Structure 1
Amino acid sequence: MRSSFSVVALALAITVFATPTDISPAPESVVEDAKQLTVGSVTPLSAVQIESYAPYSSFSDAADCPPEKRTNWQCKTCQADSVKGFQVYKYGGDGGVVQYWYVGWWPSQNSVVVGRQGTDPAKIQAVLTDAKFIPVDLSEEQFPGRPASAKAHNGFLASHTRSAGDVLSAVKDVLTQNRATKVVAVGHSLGGALAILDGLYLQLQLGSAVRVTIRALGAPRVGNADFANFVNAKVSDVVRLTVKRDIVPVLPPLLLGFKHTTGEKHLNSDDVWNSCAGQDNLSTDCSVGEVLTEGFKLSDHLGPYPGGVIIGKTGC
């Protein structure tokens, strides 16, 4: 267990500090995890389906920008046609102890959007958040009705808690102002983990009259199997976008008690997007299967995501 923890901590630390193009062998944790998994069904996505996910690439990319770069939605990635009319309502965070976040109105989809920043390697607090791997209980106050056995990554959960109340307040305001009933939680990397927590939290807090969806790009596993099942039971539309040999989506490992939600859409090394059935699909056309057989490539963590977005390249 101790050696596996070291592999994961090292892999995440390397991933956020560098993006080399070299391919490295799958870590031992992935090899061990594969013994618990089976190959599931895979269905290629249509061009229309792929394009429908493009706005979430831009929303995630924008979340990594400092607030002054996107306050009036003027950042470079903010100018993508699918998100150009977005209106920022409120934002917060310092990029370190509290990840940047924003809440706003997406007129073309009649939806509120909650965007979450990924890990900034220049802010050590954010990196340390990734490195805390202990699964802990969910708060009944924040996640009413959660199974007592559901647990989530303590670093991700603590990071989410620091801004959850402010985000919820802003979301309620925008919903009321626009008489809306739809919310999208989105983010990349650590931001993707926070988006998964946001999606569950907001759905439970807002109730069934509001439909919350999750779009998590390059997200790690967030909690145990009971947590993942609870997310899928409460949030009807969960999509996790993963790219080629990205190692982050195969961490933290199953052997530490973590499990993904369903909803993976994976871009394989042949540049084909596939829908992967199940929670962790061992098919080579899905994240864990590809990393197991092909190794990992750190730069794949940044994309390309739908719309051709490389996180941080167009950006701010």
Structure 2
Amino acid sequence: MVRSILFTVLPALLASKLSVAAPIVGSRSDDNSAATTAVSNATVTSDFLQPALFSRVAYCSSSAVQSFQCGAPCQALGNVSVLQVGGNDGTVPMYFIAHDPSTNSIVVAHQGTDPNNLLSILNDAEFGLVDLNTTRFTAASGKSIQVHQGFQDTFERTADGVLAGVQSGLASTGATNVLVTGHSLGAAVATLDAMLLTENLDPSISMTTSVFGLPRVGNQAWADFVDSSLGTTLSHITNQNDPVPTVPPEFLGFVQPSQEFHITGVDSTGQATGIVACPGQDNENCSTGNSILDVSIANHLGPYFDDISFGGAACPA
């Protein structure tokens, strides 16, 4: 499994770190080395724990999620009602929509890349930038926004179902909050979902987007669009020397949005020993500054904190 991820990610990572080609249009114009600040354990628990638990469950089988009988990962979330399950674990990675009464939220959680499934890996391998679909994102019209072709294609396969499911869930439960989450490929699709929902839901609905191991989704204009639309309601959490947040590479024109939170260390019990907030886009003191000599594919899967990891092994049900 790890070898499959390695062959998918490492060539692009090497190109990103070693290329001496001139920057192309849409790439970040200058380095960001702004100082980071420590994040408290209380913030991790209040802001990141529940999204991580939902993202972990997204790796369970569709049937286990539908019945919410997936063992410890489901039990950790308590009294949650699953409203909708979609996807085929291939070209359409599994997602689910649930009501979390503890926060009065509708939650959308997307499954990430399964390295044992070639179709999922091919979604990630389509590195080309293409124009963002401004029919769906009308606020993006005229802004020269481009995104990763594979991520947009994957998003398009579930976008209508997700939007309709969230709208239905809000109406049927009276929820006033929406949380969007996911890991890896699921983080990329979740970010696109969050932008779609922000444009289409009533402004009175509180939106939160918390994702893990987010690859770069689009160009500078995309990163700016995310920053202006989601602002501090977005958190993308990266883990130590995980290379995935640094691909696709910057020299191809890809840029991460702001609001990265970087885990600097995890102890033998799976507890984070340090988490920092990383100002600006592609902060060199966080994932973007990782050395090619210290790449750890295992860090992509976890643990991140509270002994939470992602992938099929983390939710075998």
TM score, norm. by length of structure 2: 0.87
Provide Cα deviations, 1:65-106, integer angstroms capped at 9, x if missing partner: 1111121222131111xx211110011100001110100101
What is the CA-CA distance between 1:311 and the residue it aligns to?
1.2
My pick for the range that moved more, 64-73 or 243-252, is 64-73
What is the CA-CA distance between 1:17 and the residue it aligns to?
7.5
In structure 2, which of residues 97, 115, 130 is the aligned counterpart of residue 136 of structure 1? 130
Hey, what's the Cα distance between the residues in 2 that align with 1:269 and 1:229?
A: 29
1:106 aligned residue:
100
1:277 aligned residue:
279
Q: Does 1:187 align with 2:187?
A: no
* Closer, same or farther: CA 137–35 of 1 in aligned 2, 3 Å: closer
Q: Which amino acid aligns with 1:275?
A: A
2:111 aligned residue:
117
Structure 2 unaligned blocks of 5 or more:
267-272
Hey, what's the Cα distance between the residues in 2 that align with 1:220 and 1:176?
A: 33
Hey, what's the Cα distance between the residues in 1 that align with 2:132 and 2:203?
A: 20
In structure 1, which of residues 225, 243, 249 is the aligned counterpart of residue 245 of structure 2? 249
Q: Is the CA contact 1:30–1:288 (under 8 Å) kept in the aligned structure 2? A: no
Hey, what's the Cα distance between the residues in 2 that align with 1:14 and 1:215?
A: 23
Q: Which amino acid aligns with 2:264?
A: N
What is the CA-CA distance between 1:31 and the residue it aligns to?
4.9
Q: Is the CA contact 1:247–1:296 (under 8 Å) kept in the aligned structure 2? A: yes
Hey, what's the Cα distance between the residues in 2 that align with 1:165 and 1:12?
A: 34
- What SS class does the counterpart of residue 17 from structure 2 fall into? helix
Q: Is the CA contact 1:61–1:311 (under 8 Å) kept in the aligned structure 2? A: yes
Q: Which amino acid aligns with 1:198?
A: D
Hey, what's the Cα distance between the residues in 2 that align with 1:114 and 1:190?
A: 14
Q: Is the CA contact 2:32–2:280 (under 8 Å) kept in the aligned structure 1? A: no
Q: Is the CA contact 1:147–1:226 (under 8 Å) kept in the aligned structure 2? A: no
Write out aligned runs for 1:180-259 (5 A).
180-236=175-231, 237-259=233-255
Q: Is the CA contact 1:30–1:250 (under 8 Å) kept in the aligned structure 2? A: no
The number of residue pairs the alignment matches comes to 296
Write out aligned runs for 1:1-316 (5 A).
14-15=5-6, 27-32=14-19, 36-52=30-46, 53-75=48-70, 76-80=72-76, 83-148=77-142, 149-236=144-231, 237-269=233-265, 271-283=273-285, 286-289=286-289, 291-292=290-291, 295-312=294-311, 313-315=313-315, 316=317
Q: Is the CA contact 1:12–1:248 (under 8 Å) kept in the aligned structure 2? A: no
1:7 aligned residue:
none
TM score, norm. by length of structure 1: 0.87
What is the CA-CA distance between 1:123 and the residue it aligns to?
2.1
What is the CA-CA distance between 1:147 and the residue it aligns to?
4.0
Hey, what's the Cα distance between the residues in 1 that align with 2:239 and 2:139?
A: 33
Hey, what's the Cα distance between the residues in 2 that align with 1:88 and 1:16?
A: 35
* Closer, same or farther: CA 12–183 of 1 in aligned 2, 3 Å: farther
What is the CA-CA distance between 1:133 and the residue it aligns to?
0.9
Structure 1 stretches of at least 4 aligned residues deviating more than 4 Å after TM superposition: 31-36
